[in-house]
Structures are given as C-alpha cells and as structure tokens.
Structure 1
Amino acid sequence: MLQRSTLKFLKDLRQNNNKPWFDENKTQYQQAKADFETLVQQIIDGLSRMDPGLEGLTVKDCVFRIYKDVRFSKDKTPYKANMGASFSKGGKKSPYGGFYFHLEPGGNNFAGGGIWMPDAPEIKKIRQEIDYNFSEFQGIVGQKDFIRYFGKVNGDTLKTAPQGYHEDNPAIAYIKLKSFVVTHSMSDDAVTQPTLVRDILRTYAVMQPFVNFLNRALDE
C-alpha cells in the first residue's frame, strides 16, 4: 500500500509546482519517491511470477522521472503532479506492450496497460494481427471480466481506414486505433489499502491476454 503522506505530497505539489517550493520540500519528495518505489518493487515481484518475460526488471527500468521536459510544452511547470511506472519486457522505453500504474490523487489513479502510440512498423503488425485473428481478439476484449475492469480499448482514432483496409472490415474500429490502451480507475482510498498490490496484480491478470496478443504481433 501507499502512505497517505505520498498522496499529500502530490496534492501539495499540484498547488505549488515551482522549484523553490520543491527544493524546500525535498525531504518529503524523497520519502514519497521511496514509498512509490517500494510499491513498484512489489509489483515487479508479483508480475515476474505471472510473466517470466518480466523477470529481471528493476525499479529504475520502470519508474518515470517526476521532472518534466518543458522545452516543447506550453505548460512550463517543472514537475509532474503524478508518479508512474511501466512494466514491460525491456523496460519503460521498450516498444513492447505492458502494464502501467499511475498515481495521481484526486480521482486520477489507475492501473492500466497496452501499447501507447506505437511507431509505424509496430502498429502495422498489430493491425494485421487483429485483422487476421479478429475472433480471438474479440474474445479477449469481450470477456466479462475484461469489460467489468476496463470497459473498452481506448486510443485516438484515424478518421479514415489505414492503407490496405476498408471501412466494411469487421475489425475496422480497432484497426483505426493509434493506441491500444485499457485503464482501471482506483480511488485515493483504494491506493492506501493493504490490499493494493493484490488488487493491481488482479487487474493485470485480467489484462494479460490482451497484452500477450499485442506482443505476439510484435514478435512475428
């Protein structure tokens, strides 16, 4: 579970997103960072038992920096008011699909996963896999627990069918997607409960066939 002080730090950071405040509260940041990294290690340990391909991941492989790259952003606040970690084969910069945990108090916490904005060669493979094996894909995303946890697959959508596909393709709604992502919201109370790791891993277990399908496409 996460400490309530970690959530409080992120809430305070949202209201005071500037370097002087951050420097004054560096001790609280270090404590929140350590708390989050402890959770990430526990998730890694559980996921490694579920998916041998994730064995060997380290906390550093998974956790995103709190410092923002503001060079090309209109929002010049220097810090993220959230903490995130991605669990995939090869780490957070890998092209493979995986699992993700996002901590952002105030109604924005979630456990999710999939592939976000894959490059052209990868998305071409995924679209082909969905087209060739649409009944299998439908069975995964239409499964009762999948719908209960995630609702549907999310992602920005092309306005027209990509090259090589037609609008009457039964899988066209998925083939038009630019990302293949699912999320399961978690309340602030839920992320401070002793059952947090168990609940996250249970969510990932429901998601695993979906992630495996996407990664199978990339391996072919």
Structure 2
Amino acid sequence: MKGILYTGGELTDLVHFARLPSYLQAFLREQNGVVAYFGGLHIRGCVSEPTWHALHTAWQGEMAFWRTYAEVQETDIPFAQDCVGNQFLLRGDAVLFLDTETGELADLEVDFKHFLFGVEKFPLDALGMEPLRGFQQHGGALQPGELLSLYPPVCIASAERKPKINIQPAADRLAWLADFHRQIKDLPSGQRIHLKPSQD
C-alpha cells in the first residue's frame, strides 16, 4: 500500500479479534489496521485506543452502522472506510460498499484479498478518491483520524454547485452522515429538500 500515514500498534482488543474471519486476522497480525493512500483508505484495527481506529467502536459501539442503516446487519464487519466516510463491510466472504449518505448497500463482488488487489491496482477508482485528490491539489492534507466533509452532500449536489470540502474528525463526520441519512431515508425519490447552512 502507498501513502501510509498511520499503522495500528499492538493488538489490544482480543475479544473482537477472535470473532473475525481468519484472513482478516492474518492481515491484522501483520499490521493492526492502516491509514493509506494519504487518507484514501482506513482499515480499522483491533485496538482499545484511539477510538477512531478501533474496529469494535464501528462494529458494536453506540454509533455502530447497523444501528442506523437498515440494510446493514449486526454481523457485518465494518473493516474499512474511504476518505469521506463511506464504509466497506464484510458479510461472509463478500465485501460490500455502504453509501453513508443514502444507506444504499452494494456487493462489490470481490472477497477481501481481491478487494486489496483492486485497491492496489486502481486506488483512485476503487476508493472514490476524487474529492481527496482535489483537496490535495489545493494544498490540503488529511491526518489520521480525519475525514473529508462534503457539503452539500454528494447525493443532492448538482453539476453547477460542487461540494465544499473541509476536514472533520472522523467521529463527527460519521455522526453527521448518520443524522443526514435518518432525515432523508423515508423521503420519496425526487423530493425537494431545503438545507440549512453547513455546520462548518
């Protein structure tokens, strides 16, 4: 992996580590999670701290994705996320992609090993890194524990109004996305909505 900003330390959360499939255990034994591609990919680790890197926080914590997103099952493992907070989940051997704005879940039709191969070969496309690339071209840089905030959200942005990009702590970004999803999830397609000014 390129552009590594952070690697997790010692395996300190052995309870959740024991629940993982053997191939993910093998990966985490080598490096206990990683922030790579200059923030384009964050693979979580089995740690107690920091909480932004802790797999158990995303999987079983108060803000676990299955608590907010109807399509996500409690057994789905949210092993990674992209630069804006969309999630990569493991369901059995399949890697799924969760759009954290809309709650849509897509099967990427790859297993964990081939997901990593695809990311290595085509990181820009596999990780949807266009916002990060644009941010970097204007001198911006993500730090470990941070995500990009896009406003207005991608699902309602128009060609003439490109999203404003800012940095947010990962927990704040994911909480904002969950709240936004709760507000729009029952609206009919094509429904007009009014956005209050950005929190930034």
- TM-score norm. by structure 1 comes to 0.32
Q: What TM-score do you get using the length of structure 2 for normalisation?
A: 0.34
Larger radius of gyration: 1
Q: Which structure's residues are more often helix, by fraction? A: 1
The answer to which structure has the higher strand fraction is: 2
